[in-house]
Structure 1
Amino acid sequence: MKGEGRAGCGGRGLFEDLDFPSDDTSLFSDSSTPIARLQGNITWRRPQEICQSPVLFPDNITLGHAKQGLLGDCWFLCACTVLLKNKHLLNKVLPPDQPQWGDSQYRGFFQFCFWQQGHWTEVTIDDRLPCINSSLCFSRCHSPAAFWVALLEKAYAKFHGSYERLWAGQVSEALVDLTGGLAEHWSLGNLGSEEEQRPERDSDQVRRRRLDLNLLYPVKDDCALSCSTHSSPGGASELGQYHALTVTEWLDVKTVSGGEVRLLRIRNPWGRCCWGGAWVESGAGWSSVEPACASDLQARVAEGEFWLDEAEFMSQFDDVTVGYPISEEGHLRSIYTGSLLKHSHQLAGRWIKGHSAGGSRNSSCYCTNPKFWLKVSEKGEVLVSLLQHRKWRNAEKYAQTPLEDNKNTKHQHYQATALHMWKVEKKRFNLSRMLNKPPFASTHCHAYEREVVLHGHLEPGYYLLIPSTYQPGAESRFLIRAHSSSSISLSALRSPAPSLPLTTDGEWETSYFRGSWVEGRTAGGSRNFLSHWQNPCFPFTVCDPAAVTSGVNVRITLQQNRPDTELHPIGFHIYKVPEGASVQTIPRDEDPVASCVPHCYMQDVSLACSLPPGAYTILPSTYEPDCSANFTLSLARRIHRRVVKSQERLGRAIQEVSHISVMQS
């Protein structure tokens, strides 16, 4: 997806982004945050109008760090720190060699890239920045002549729809958007009261992890580490609630008594020190280490930074976010072992109400959730993550899904989700029986997070992954990602059962058809177009007399075989074929007897209906002609058989009332 923006020209021929204009529509979404009071006071200026010799980065990289302005986006600025530490990540987000001020090729715009649902998305902005009294009012660099932070913030604001939508967020989300990697959330504080009040717990034992810094030691110099407060800690009375800071360094220091103390250097995005602990400049803690060591460590502290020890860190902050290191080749390094996870796969999916949104394991519909095969070829360390789409975004170019009605405003952007894994020993297995057993591994509780992560060391074999929302019927798109130190493969499980739940009365017979819409041949589009009848047709018959068949007797599902980000709107019609005639003789203005429309941007669309005996044909289509894609059509028809008495004596039921899935190797 490209975000090039519609261009306009200023008085000097410089680019003006008409998709993200220099007015209040780019600043505010609903004027619900404190920056709403700035309306009418903001002017937009280009960097050369703010200082004499603007640059993207200063010569002293320490002065290139972000300094927070009037916008509450400390979470985003903390994530930006990882870019200054990793040139290859910075070059991905801000492609190098772009014309700057003073360059003859400069045209007043910059291009950035953010990772979104499995792909890098390009965002182009002009360089007009919001100011008050000729000074930047939002984030900036410590150097007043450097503008990479202010421009990146503007591009991220366009990516979200407005500056106001950057007010408050999760460091983990920004880290993933800026790196395409993974980030995990770890708790520091007392979890007892929170555990007791979590409504989204499912039947699994709830186990939330607490941070052990020793666990991160193999990657302490490479991982991105951020800490945050939910309320004012004792040593940081100025910080207030919900503020994020960056851990820039941590090390073990010898004390004069022969022991060790672990010290962490923290950077506050506000650009000033707000700490009163034992390790401030004149704090009592420094007397416990050698004077030379104390002088060296204190000399490392830049503006807005301070030291504290591990005990202070664990007691004064509420949680931390750990971003996985990423090699120059784009591979993750495990924060648990330091191992390089060279093998990775990803697949998109969707929970659809009435079809694949089965809810948690408390729900009888759990087995209808989407399912994925993870094949592990050799023993190795494996990470599997479940990342869901946010419910609101810019309504046009960056639209993902609309904001849905949700009475729970605290969690209005995400569903509570979890990921469960079962090891499958045989190539043929009983799904219902397996799901009644405890999972091999899981994220243990449904969490209102954009991404949840499952980690383990897996033996070779097949593993079934089931992502779920806590509430049945909750709809959302998601992305499953797997990273491993050994060879793996990830694939979606295509269930051979009809997509919609079947009633227990009678038996069902299911047929499967594969087809293609081919541009210029069989991609005829919807009934709005004369070419509609060029679409593939799939004839079938209903045989049971109407007196025997009551209620739904036909269930049809159309599934397109395309990535979730490249879906066509699809649907289908069912036409009656006159007795003794063929499909070709159906009048072209004939109305269908049943339809699955309007056409929807979905992987699967389904219809359950009751049809009298006769001959019919199914005509699947995309909304517009010449949209090429492969598809699968499943047709389930209810049939009635006379009961047969069985002489089976081997202790094995002839027919189990359950869902049987066959593993695809």
Structure 2
Amino acid sequence: MAEVDCRYPVMREESMAQCSGALFEDLDFPCADSSLFSDSTTPIARLQGEITWRRPQEICQSPALFPSNINLAHAKQGLLGDCWFLCASSVLLKNKRLLNKVFPADQPLWGNSRYRGFFRFFFWQQGNWTEVTIDDRLPCFKSTLCFSHCHSPSAFWVALLEKAYAKLHGSYEHLWAGQVAEALVDLTGGVAERWSLGDFGSEEEQRTERDSDRVQKKKLDLNLLSHVKDDCALSCSTHGAPGGLGVMGQHHALTVMEWLNVKTVSGSEVWLLRIRNPWGRCCWGGAWTWSGVGWSSLDPDCAVDLKSRLAEGEFWLDEAEFTSQFDEITVGYPMSEEGHLKSIYTGNFLTHSHQLAGRWVKGYSAGGSRNASSYSSNPKFWLKVCERGEVLISLLQHRKWRNRKNAQKSLEDGKNIKHQHYQAIALHMWKVEKKHFNLSRTLIKPICASTHCHAYEREVVLRRQLDPGYYLLIPSTYQPGAETHFLIRVFSSSSISLSALKSPAPSLPLTADGEWETTSFCGSWVEGRTAGGSRNFLSYWQNPRFSFTVCDEPDVPSGVNVKISLHQSCPDTDLLPIGFHVYKVPRGGSEQMTVKEENLVASCTPHCHTQDVSLACTLPPGSYTIVPSTYQPDCSANFSLSLARRIHRKVVKSQEQLGRMIQEVSHVSVMKK
């Protein structure tokens, strides 16, 4: 079980209320406009000055959390545009374990001597269950609840849950518009996927992988979900104003209560879906309305049974109507009583799970997409699969709250509001033979699996059947330098392990354009001695130096003849900005005395927050010196340096010297096959 994050611990006023008998009043989320509005740019802004706050016992005579009739426990949307959250909350009515996790049982209610006017809730946030405590004063308009509530006027679990979620987000207005998938994850700690019901383009377009911000979603297949149709969370949403559902306008989410494969009197089969509109009223005029023509195709007893299942705000439609009227569906993975995910593809329980947090930092670990030369600097993770099994991998980023006025302007300009809150992210995976491998070679190989394209989503998911072995995971943003925190989660039917990758030893790629002599050295930048910093500082020449010679090889073809790689030996979280310069040593001069700025012939700069920096260049015959450095002086770290020189068949021994702090560790000649 994930650790509880006490972001909203039991407050001093709450403790005082328990002792004095007074009813708790939450000073962190007061009965004021600051709790209702963020910037007053949504339609509820017109309610300013009109809202009062009342406790349930001030709204009705006998308040309760849940009604005796479960059909009246479902949420009914009020004046707040949070249908996405209400659709997700319906999953709690299907899973008592989850309900007790989010809303712990045995909290003192109205009429109980221990009741003090507050309730505790838990929401899953970035890997932990976060506690949120609220008082039970609820926003009302003309003495009735103005936001979400149950169909039963005396049941208050929905209104209390909504208030706790609003406090978590900072205000009620912050709940205006959102994704069902996000709320499902917050309420379950699980995973949700979005599937498209729209146009998918040509087969070639579907096969082609793009590094862009275009979202590619799976196409709905109700047969695929037959393993989990009784216990998965399913919702549907519309982005436009389709014909039969035109009264709903744009951007509305509804809950799929159930779907059945029903036989008609002619012997054929038809999928029927029962849909609940959180507005609490029917908005459908198709073949399966109460007096629609569709019912005549069914056995009368079957038709009566299906009609009897309809509650307020519900209606039936068939698969063809469903796919034509809605733009996408959201599928929430079911969870067992033990808290294990159940695969929506196979019905298998994913009993093994791991998670690790990470961060993209500009100039350090925000390498961008595979189109960028800095891609390899992105955070890297090891996934070890011990036996063949089904593996689900999730990449989830932190939401960034932006000014809603800017978001509104983006909508007016035709931009996606999700761009205001999220980076475009993707996840790529490679199969490797063992932990010790060449990163640059691996990254040019075909990927094993990926989320295909970068998407402005809080979470992207990939799922595969994987064979035993090691897998390299690289999460990335589309734009280099884009910053945010993220969480990698892995769920599997077989034993797995997940760890952050320790960068491999520096290496230079083998080539087929002749013979290369490769030499590797280790050294250190030591504060006050050899950590001189960049050329901006007078102490620069205190940095270690590495001397080498390029010989005149008439049989070597023209082109690149020197490749240099600098690697710093420290974890990703402690990387320094590093780089190096190459200087020509005048003939007959002493390297220690005569190397000057005017002798600079090549550079690997600007300094970068990355494990490795490399340079390939062409140098004429002569003597040279490499000066590796950090950007700031007095930054201590160990490093290693690799030098590859193209040579004739005869291996020419070089005279390398890196000073007192350097020790040669290898000398390898790579021969062309």
Matches within 5 A, 1:28-43: 28-43=37-52
Asked if the contact 2:78–2:149 (Cα under 8 Å) also holds between the matched residues in 1, the reply is: yes
Contact 2:87–2:180 (Cα < 8 Å) also in 1: yes
Does structure 2 conserve the Cα–Cα contact (< 8 Å) formed by 1:123 and 1:155? yes
* 1:436 lines up with 2:444 in the alignment: yes
Asked whether the 8 Å contact 1:373–1:492 carries over to 2, the reply is yes
- Single out whichever of 539-548 and 429-438 deviates more from structure 2: 539-548
| TM-score computed with the length of structure 1 as normaliser | 0.76
Cα deviation code 1:111-152 (max 9, x no counterpart): 000000111000000001000111000000000000000000
Opposite residue 306 of structure 1, the aligned amino acid is: F
Q: Does 1:446 align with 2:454?
A: yes
- Separation in structure 1 between the aligned mates of residue 339 and residue 276 of structure 2, nearest angstrom: 27
**Residue 13 of structure 1, CA deviation:** 1.1
Secondary structure of the corresponding residue to residue 75 of structure 1: helix
Work out whether 1:419 is the aligned partner of 2:427: yes
Is the alpha carbon distance of 1:64 and 1:639 closer, same or farther for their aligned partners in structure 2, counting shifts above 3 Å? closer
> What code does the residue aligned with 2:59 have?
I
Q: In the aligned structure 2, how far is the partner of 1:541 from the partner of 1:249? A: 70
Q: Is the Cα–Cα contact under 8 Å of residues 50 and 135 in structure 1 kept in the other structure?
A: yes
Per-residue CA deviations over 1:66-89 (Å, capped at 9, x if unaligned) read 000000000000000000000000
Which whole-Å CA distance do the structure 2 matches of 1:128 and 1:172 have between them?
28
Assess if the C-alpha contact under 8 Å between 2:211 and 2:369 holds in 1: yes
Which residue of structure 2 lines up, in the alignment, with residue 635 of structure 1?
Answer: 638
SS at match of 1:411: helix
Choose 1 or 2 for highest CA Rg: 2
8 A contact 1:5–1:17 mirrored in 2 = no
* Structure 2 contact 234–255 (Cα < 8 Å) conserved: yes
Aligned match of 2:618: none
Whole-angstrom distance in 1 between the partners of 2:416 and 2:248 = 27
Match of 2:595 in 1: none
The match for 1:590 is none
Q: Does 1:495 align with 2:503?
A: yes
Q: In 2, Cα distance between the equivalents of 1:164 and 1:276?
A: 32
Determine if contact 2:530/2:542 at 8 Å carries over to the other structure. Answer: no
Say whether the 8 Å CA contact 1:74–1:269 is kept in structure 2: yes
8 Å Cα contact 1:385-1:481 kept in structure 2 = yes
- The equivalent residue for 1:481 is 489
**Residue 82 of structure 1 aligns with which residue?**
91
Q: CA deviation at 1:654?
A: 4.0
Root mean square deviation of aligned Cα: 3.8
Per-residue CA distance 1:461-492 (angstroms, 9 max, x = gap): 11111111111111111000000000011111
Of 111, 119, 122, the match for 1:102: 111
Shift, 1:189, TM fit: 1.1
Aligned-residue offset at 1:647: 4.0
Q: Which residue of 1 aligns with 2:466?
A: 458
- What letter matches 1:465 in structure 2? L
**Amino acid corresponding to residue 113 of structure 2 in structure 1:** S
What is the rounded CA distance, in whole Å, between the counterparts of 2:566 and 2:435 in structure 1?
A: 30
Equivalent residue for 1:564?
none
Q: CA deviation at 1:450?
A: 0.5
What TM-score do the two structures reach when normalised by structure 2?
Answer: 0.75
Give the CA deviation at 1:62: 1.1
What's the offset of the Cα at 1:636? Answer: 2.8
Choose which of 6, 9, 14 in structure 2 pairs with 1:4.
Answer: 9
Unaligned runs of 5+ in 2: 404-414, 507-517, 533-539, 547-564, 577-608, 614-626, 653-666
Q: Where in structure 2 are the equivalents of 1:309-388 lying within 5 Å?
A: 309-388=318-397
1:475-514: CA deviation from partner (whole Å, max 9, x where unpaired)? 111000000000011111011469xxxxxxx99855699x
Q: How does 1:122-521 map to 2 (within 5 A)?
A: 122-192=131-201, 201-202=210-211, 208-392=217-401, 409-496=417-504
CA distance in 1, matches of 2:454, 2:644: 44
| Residues 176 and 204 of structure 1: CA distance in aligned 2, closer, same or farther (over 3 Å) | closer
Q: What is aligned with 1:624?
A: none
Amino acid at match of 1:443: T
> 2:340·2:350 contact (CA, 8 Å) conserved in 1?
yes
Q: Secondary structure at the match of 1:312?
A: helix
Give distance in 2, aligned partners of 1:382 and 1:612: 43
Identity level (%): 69
Structure 1 residue 547, shift from structure 2 partner: 10
How many angstroms apart in 2 are the aligned matches of 1:462 and 1:341?
Answer: 19
Match of 1:51 in 2: 60
**Take 1:389 and 1:260, find their aligned partners in 2: how far apart are those partners?**
44
- State the secondary structure of the residue aligned to 1:248: strand
1:59-74 equivalent positions in 2, closer than 5 A? 59-74=68-83
- SS of alignment partner, residue 17 of structure 1: coil
Give SS of 1:313's match: helix
C-alpha deviation, 1:12, in angstroms: 6.9
What's the secondary structure of 2:421's corresponding residue? coil
| Paired amino acid for 1:446 | H
Partner SS, residue 257 of structure 2: strand
Contact 1:76/1:171, CA 8 A, preserved across alignment: yes
The number of equivalent residue pairs is 555
Moved more, 466-475 or 424-433: 424-433
Instruction: Return the letter of the residue paired with 1:636.
Output: F
Native 8 Å contact 1:417 1:468 kept in 2: yes
Q: Quick one: distance in 2 between partners of 1:511 and 1:249?
A: 66
Determine the C-alpha separation between the residues in 1 that align with 2:95 and 2:499.
32
